[in-house]
């Protein structure tokens, strides 16, 4: 079987996925990315994977499964498969109370802890875990840059996602003007550049702000994230809602290990750590601190 035949798909009907094929993909997606795929999502998965079949010149899901689970497919296709099944929804200044808490409580607490013993020369490390198309890390970097202008803090921002497509979009830092409506006007003027062609309605994050963020691909299911530095603050918002309780607990324990003592974890407004028996204390609205 080859995965690169030149077929005419202009008139080709959409193929369907058997229950067995769906179960194979569903288990693989769960094992690889921690994302639950109940049978109610079969039609969605079929639709999203059609573009991969077309790109590869594959006629049906049986052939696609054979390719994915081959050695060559495992090396070449896994990232593309995960890319098309992940959901990416984010906004600038989403859940703004988190950014207020960041500068009013979390950063001062970590600064005080450092002044009591740790080197003040080391930057505060903030991780946007599941950064999608970049709105969250750019928001926190604007907020941190404004805070740093009034203080002597140094900071670094790490932004990660499992989806390579959205990471590339995030690194480019280009958005429609409508997407930036939630950014306060003074910050827009300071940190955004409008396209020379005004008819396109596009803006771009200024280069100095883009350069402050380290974008990397990270799979939460990996035993070790490949991030040697302990983080002071982790934002992982509106991500664990796609995981079952067992996967949520395992991931939060990994974050606990990745945080500095007393470090802060921010999760989404519809998420909670209650009932997971984790060594975190709730200190704000969907904000937790490492015990």
Active-site amino acid positions: 48, 161
Which are the contacts of 18, defined by CB distance < 8 A and separation ≥ 6?
Answer: 61, 62
Q: Are 228 and 257 in contact (CB under 8 A)?
A: no
Which letter does DSSP use for residue 88 in this model?
-
Query: Up-side HSE of residue 28: CA atoms within 13 Å toward CB?
Result: 18
- State how far Cα 113 lies from the chain centre: 28
Grouping H, G, I as helix, E, B as strand and the rest as coil, residue 203 is strand
In the chain the beta strands, taken as DSSP E runs, fall at 124-129, 155-161, 174-176, 192-194, 202-205, 213-217, 231-236, 259-267, 280-284, 287-290
Query: 184's torsion region: left (phi>0), alpha (psi -120 to 50) or beta?
Result: beta
């Amino acid at each position: 079987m080859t995965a690169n035949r030149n077929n005419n798909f202009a008139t080709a009907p959409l193929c369907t996925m058997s229950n067995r094929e769906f179960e194979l993909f569903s288990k693989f997606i769960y094992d690889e990315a921690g994302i639950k795929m109940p049978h109610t999502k079969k039609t969605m998965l079929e639709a999203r994977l059609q573009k991969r079949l077309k790109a590869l010149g594959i006629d049906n899901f049986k052939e696609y499964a054979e390719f994915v689970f081959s050695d060559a497919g495992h090396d070449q296709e896994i990232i593309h498969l995960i890319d098309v099944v992940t959901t990416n929804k984010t906004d600038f200044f989403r859940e703004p109370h988190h950014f207020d808490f960041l500068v009013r409580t979390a950063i001062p607490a970590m600064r005080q802890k450092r002044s009591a013993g740790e080197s003040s020369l080391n930057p505060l490390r903030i991780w946007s875990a599941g950064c999608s198309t970049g709105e969250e890390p750019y928001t926190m970097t604007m907020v941190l840059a404004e805070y740093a202008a009034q203080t002597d803090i140094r900071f670094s921002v790490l932004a990660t996602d499992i989806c390579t497509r959205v990471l590339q979009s995030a690194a480019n830092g280009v958005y429609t003007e409508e997407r930036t409506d939630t950014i306060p006007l003074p910050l827009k003027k300071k940190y955004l550049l409008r396209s020379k062609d005004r008819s396109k309605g596009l803006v771009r994050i200024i280069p100095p702000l883009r350069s402050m963020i380290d974008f990397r691909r990270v799979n939460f299911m990996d035993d070790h994230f490949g991030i040697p530095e302990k983080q002071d603050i982790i934002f992982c918002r509106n991500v664990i809602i796609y995981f079952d309780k067992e996967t949520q607990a395992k991931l939060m324990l990994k974050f606990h290990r990745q945080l500095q003592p007393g470090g802060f974890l921010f999760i989404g407004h519809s998420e909670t750590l209650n009932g997971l028996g984790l060594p975190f204390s709730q200190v704000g609205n969907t904000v937790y601190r490492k015990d």
